[in-house]
Amino acid sequence: MVRLHELVFDAYQRLMPRPRESAPAIIVEIDERALDAQGQWPWPRTQVAELVRAIARARPAAIGLDLLFTEPDRSSADADRSLAQALQESTSVLGIAGLEQPDRRFPNPPQVAPVRISGARELPLRRFAGHLQSRFQIDRAASGRGLISADMREGVVRTMPLVARVNGVLTPTLTIELLRTAAGIPSLSIMDHGGEDVRLQVGDIAVPMQSDGSLQIHFAPHDAERFVSAQDVLAGEVPPEVLRDKVVLVGVTGLGLIDYQATPLGERVPGVEVHAQILEQIFDGAYLHRPGHARWLEAASLLAAGLLLVAVVPVAKAWVSALIGLALLGSFVLGGLLTFKAGALIDPAAPAAGVVLLFGSLLAFAFAEADRQRRRLREAQARVAGELEAARRIQMGLLPDPRALFADEARFSLEATLSPARTVGGDFYDCFMVDEHRLFFIVADVSGKGLPASLFMALSKSLLKSIALRQSEADPGAMLTLANAEIGRDNPESLFVTAYAGVLDTRTGGLAFSNAGHEPALSLREGSPPEVLEHSGGPPLCVIEGFQYPTAHRQLAPGETLCVVTDGVTEAMNPRGELYGSKRVRLLVAAGTDANPRKLVDALAADVRRFADGAEQADDITLLGVRWNGFQPMSGAAAEERWQDLALEPRA
């Protein structure tokens, strides 16, 4: 997609190159004529100093050297001092080259003008781990230092970092530093208004840039009038008014000494000309900027065009549909050109490609018979969906709402939730008081999913509740034994049910529980890690006829919480195919030691959703949490009734 954007914007640049309206910069080029007259490059630094003084005599606004003097001058021991003196006598800026790796010769950050950032976020600026700069004596004599590194993809220069981090220090590009020194401004400011609305403030000039600190260069064609030969400057043949009050850039353009850079216009220009073009762009105010909402605008354009095609193509004649498709493509191209002319980089290629694909797809399915088949299918699907939705409402209506059922209960707290993988599912839970003091709860999972499992779930839940209410001793193992016989009696599809049933005595905290092939419960006590309530239990219901399910017992401490889940939790899968697992359940339960069942269930359900990360839910998910709150004093009326009962009881 990035490559497609670049091809489109390159085509726009070739169609509408920037006109050269102002000429703030002049390039003094060390070209073939200068090399023939003065000798091969590199020149002695005394000779470079002479060139700098010759330029300075014309009183330019600033002199920028797109050159590096990193090595000692072998021609003379005083050469560096001579060049440093020439730089100190003028308003000059030296170049800095950013490196991906540190250079041992320059371990310290460059000394650059301070750059302040107004904004709370950290901008994703271009980073260079190291840099190259001129020798210390020369470097400290300059008025400023600026970055000369450009960003290139596939050998084409399209952007330039106006500000980058070099050795961790905010460093302006050579062009910006020349503007700063020419205006005598002590510092720079970055105004961050969020998104891609970022501006680099150079005195009164606000230069818009992307959030990564880069400027999209709007190139003008190569123009020989930007250049004067260094030989003519040294010979005094350049009139002073040509350089006066200009930003003068000095660079090497001799063939064989530099790599010419390709531009979106299809030209190859020396790197120093890129800096001159940026100066012209700033002075002309001819900026190119990709707004932060560009992707949304492109997506909205595609969406609007797609909706129009979907609405028109199936019912319109073929030639009408074709005209509409061509009109949409033309509007995208024209809109892209107009926004480019206004300085905004909006890419019409992706919406246009989407329209072409959508248009072709719609034409392929626009035949009358296919349309009738599609309508029939939609009607059938709507009927099935309506019936499934009704079944879902009925199924979810079978499940109790613990918050409403136990709203006034202080002896214990209970919370449960169920999320079917399909419209209807096979998981279920139930909770109710079997008498005044004993709470029955169960979490179960029917094999399979969908409509068959939901029907078997309704049967199983009803039978289990009926058995629990009929049993006076409220023994979970005995309940599951009876349920195994009754549910298995009407089971032509050989379905089975895993279940975890428990009875809590709300007076004492005594818990009786039994497990029929289900995930074991987790116990959570304050100050202790989660404990798995292991129990031999038995197989799922309807697997072994006549199996006697045992009952286990546990004394709950005040505030102790039980958490029971179905395998839809532990077997939840993310897009990478990883399972949620029992260990993650224990870790999350441990993190919620002080949470009540409602918070615990909500947190676990939310964590499963985050882990799945949008992956399709493979199984029903059911969670239940119950906490015994400890002994709760009875109200006055209840206490009086209890004492009356005790008074009537015979004494031993």
Q: What is the mean pLDDT of residues 236-253?
A: 94
Residue 584, SS3 per DSSP: helix
Q: What pLDDT score does 364 carry? A: 74
Residue 514, SS3 per DSSP: strand
Q: What pLDDT score does 74 carry? A: 80
Give residue 326's region: left, alpha or beta (phi > 0; psi -120 to 50).
alpha
To the nearest whole percent, how much of the chain has pLDDT over 70?
A: 93
Does the structure show a pLDDT above 80 at 162?
Answer: yes
Q: What is the mean pLDDT of residues 336-348?
A: 87
**Environment class of 79 (CB within 10 Å of its CB; exposed 0-12, middle 13-18, buried 19+):** buried
φ and ψ at residue 435, rounded to 5 degrees: -155, -165
**423-449: per-residue pLDDT in tens?**
777 889 999 999 889 999 999 998 877
Q: What is the mean pLDDT of residues 521-532?
A: 86
Residue 421, SS3 per DSSP: coil
Tokens of 298: 């492109």
Q: What pLDDT score does 649 carry? A: 41
Q: What is the mean pLDDT of residues 145-166?
A: 88
**Environment class of 486 (CB within 10 Å of its CB; exposed 0-12, middle 13-18, buried 19+):** middle
Residue 414, SS3 per DSSP: strand
* Cα distance between residue 580 and residue 588, in whole Å: 11
Q: For the beta carbon of residue 169, count every other beta carbon within 10 angstroms.
A: 16
Q: Which ranges in 426-558 belong to alpha helices (H)?
A: 450-470, 476-489
Q: What is the mean pLDDT of residues 539-554?
A: 92
Q: Confidence band (pLDDT; 50, 70, 90) for 371? A: low
**409-420: per-residue pLDDT in tens?**
899 999 999 988
Q: For the beta carbon of residue 201, count every other beta carbon within 10 angstroms.
A: 17
More confident residue, 401 or 453: 401
Lowest mean pLDDT among 120-134, 348-362, 519-533: 348-362
Does the structure show a pLDDT above 80 at 340?
Answer: yes
Asked if 270 contacts 4 with a C-beta cutoff of 8 angstroms, the reply is: no
Asked if 248 contacts 63 with a C-beta cutoff of 8 angstroms, the reply is: yes
Does the structure show a pLDDT above 90 at 639?
Answer: no
Helix and strand tally (H, E) in the chain? 20, 29
Cis peptide before 42 (omega within 30 of 0): yes
Q: What pLDDT score does 644 carry? A: 47
Does the structure show a pLDDT above 90 at 631?
Answer: no
Does the structure show a pLDDT above 60 at 115?
Answer: yes
Does the structure show a pLDDT above 50 at 190?
Answer: yes
- The pTM is what? 0.55
Asked if 144 contacts 114 with a C-beta cutoff of 8 angstroms, the reply is: no
Does the structure show a pLDDT above 90 at 480?
Answer: yes
* Cα distance between residue 115 and residue 169, in whole Å: 9
Q: Confidence band (pLDDT; 50, 70, 90) for 259? A: low
Q: CB neighbours of 429 closer than 8 A, spacing ≥ 6?
A: 399, 416, 418, 441, 442, 443, 444, 622, 624
Q: What pLDDT score does 594 carry? A: 56
Q: What pLDDT score does 87 carry? A: 94
Q: Confidence band (pLDDT; 50, 70, 90) for 257? A: low
Look over the chain and give the mean of its residue pLDDT values, rounded to a whole number: 86
Q: What is the mean pLDDT of residues 217-234?
A: 93
Half-sphere exposure of 82 (CA within 13 A, CB side): 16
Helix, strand, coil percentages in the chain from 3-state DSSP, rounded to 5 = 40, 25, 40
Tokens of 592: 């919620």
Does the structure show a pLDDT above 90 at 360?
Answer: no
CA distances from 427 to 71, 141, 240, 499 (A): 77, 79, 90, 10
Does the structure show a pLDDT above 80 at 636?
Answer: no
Does the structure show a pLDDT above 50 at 280?
Answer: yes
Asked if 512 contacts 441 with a C-beta cutoff of 8 angstroms, the reply is: no
To the nearest whole percent, how much of the chain has pLDDT over 90?
A: 48
φ and ψ at residue 460, rounded to 5 degrees: -65, -45
Q: What is the mean pLDDT of residues 327-349?
A: 87
Lowest mean pLDDT among 74-78, 362-366, 405-409, 484-488: 362-366
Q: Confidence band (pLDDT; 50, 70, 90) for 352? A: confident
- Kindly state the DSSP code that residue 619 receives in the 8-state scheme: S
Q: What is the mean pLDDT of residues 65-86?
A: 89
From the centroid of its chain, how far is CA 473? 57
Q: What pLDDT score does 256 carry? A: 59
Q: What pLDDT score does 592 carry? A: 63
Does the structure show a pLDDT above 70 at 271?
Answer: yes
Q: What is the mean pLDDT of residues 286-298?
A: 87
Q: What is the mean pLDDT of residues 230-237?
A: 94
